[in-house]
Structure 1
């Protein structure tokens, strides 16, 4: 299965550090109903919402998202 390059970019961006829900919404917001990058990543199980002490509600990469990055040569060291 081929992954949308924008979804891959999004998961890689999230993998760098947990991002607040507000930051994700502000950064990846779009007025195009067909461009649902972060919703697609969540639906596919690549990212998830998680409460992190001191940070609040964040978006983090799941084990499935980490595997996606590995499979596509994008895992960060």
Structure 2
């Protein structure tokens, strides 16, 4: 397994703005099959750069709709 990195930001239009960003990110990533050992690397551009191990094939590809359920977005 190779460690991968993504940037996740808060979706300001979401109803979950009262919860800490870190908590939302970990809850969302823990629900993705194959993702383990998630950790925050740093804060950047109003979001969090998070790294994790992915046990699937290739790079992690999560639909935008999944992160949107947690009030998050992954900038392109």
Give the alignment's TM-score, normalised by structure 1.
0.29
* Structure number with higher relative contact order (C-alpha < 8 Å, ≥ 6 residues apart): 2
Q: Which has the higher helix share?
A: 1
Give the alignment's TM-score, normalised by structure 2.
0.29
